[in-house]
Structure 1
Amino acid sequence: MSHGPDIARIGALIGDPARAAMLTALMSGKALTASELARVAGIGAPTVSAHLVKLAEGGLIAAEKQGRHRYVRLAGAEVAEALEALLGLAQSRGHLPFRPGPDDQAMRRARVCYDHLAGEMGIALYRALHAGGALALAPDGVALTDRGHGLLDGLGLDMPALMRARRPACRTCLDWSERTHHLAGGAGAALLTRFQELGWLRPRQTSRALRVTLEGERELPRLFARLGAGGQGSPGP
């Protein structure tokens, strides 16, 4: 007799190669159409529809309609974090693509993990916040300290709205390429949005890799240094 939640069903849903490809594509945080997901998975329209029904019934995706178009997205941040952890497990066990793609190095440098920053830049951000006293260990992971509130407020984040939200302000997410944690939750999402507003990071059209702009190459290391030293964390030189 088994005890606890049934992981077999979730594992079977994710384990199909076509469904795994579609779920990984949705890790970009974008809502995609069935035809876009069919191209990603290399399957036909009737087959993708059957897969999407199974994923929706399993609670892994959610659909939304806009005009004549129907879009699909991941059901939530927990799904994305579980997928990121599985990617890390596959990486650590040597289950890698036979032929690395052109975006591999860019993905490792900086990428979107659902709605927050991952890769080398995401790890650097998390470590700087931790070193500077912005994050403290909590029973369910990490939490913002008073210093952290001040630092993020200085970066221009709407802290009252962030703390009112039902979503946890801070969560750790296991980074598949670095095999350590980066920052997820409301604060992680808000920081990624802020870095894009400042023009430090730009999305790429064909993958969830992010391009670090020339300004970002200059300003992000400066910011991480200030955060790690417990400085004010204000954007800009």
Structure 2
Amino acid sequence: MNAQHDHHHHHPETFDVHGMLLFGDGPLYFSHLPMFEHPAHRFQVLMEVGFRDDVLEVLRAHRKDGDIQTFVPERFDILELDPSGGGPARTSVAGTVFQGHFERGGTPIAEDVTARIERVSRFTRLDPGPRHDDDRALTYLCFGRAGGLHLAHEITARPDFDQVLSVRIVPGTVRHDPGVLVPGDVPATNFPAPVPATFGRADTPARRLVAGDTLEGAFSPGVTRTGPHGFTARVEVLGEIYMETGDLV
């Protein structure tokens, strides 16, 4: 075992089996399946991952509409995924891919395989104390590349919901603040790091985005050396990949 993964130095409260939603197709992503009730799983984590070619063939062969794939890794300390943790970062994890949810009747389709962790783009510890503010704007994290964009609902406080969507930016609708049309939609084609996007709805499961929705979002990539770079764009929701409320009450 690599010394950086020496489990003699793990934190007992965060050392566990950390189930992952597996989705995307070039690149692939893991989204940690969080739970407010258990200290080990109070984390929202998004990461880009890779598998051997033969494993990718199996994953694609089992892809079908209306079903999900999940990954059950070996037990490990989730803090090893924290990019700002200060210690050695975990670069891979071994486990089993399931067709369906591994705790809800899923079937193993690729066992004893290794996922390479290419990039951890979101690592947030969730606080179980505060109550959710239903009046806040509906907020998602947008990530991915042209032809493969995703939204993951930003989890903040209980009760909340975990949701992942496939989306596209409607061509010709990207406007920089204060409303200048951006030729070619350049800023909306590549999100290697998640960008917060808010929509004109309340942040509740009943008001979440669903397949078929098309509405304007306000994207906030942050501030660079040349100043703020927010923009708006119309987003079309192509499909809902995952939705969960029961683990986040």
TM-score interval, normalised by the smaller of the two chains: under 0.3
Provide TM-score, normalisation by structure 1: 0.27
Question: Which has the larger share of helix?
Answer: 1
TM-score w.r.t. structure 2 length? 0.26
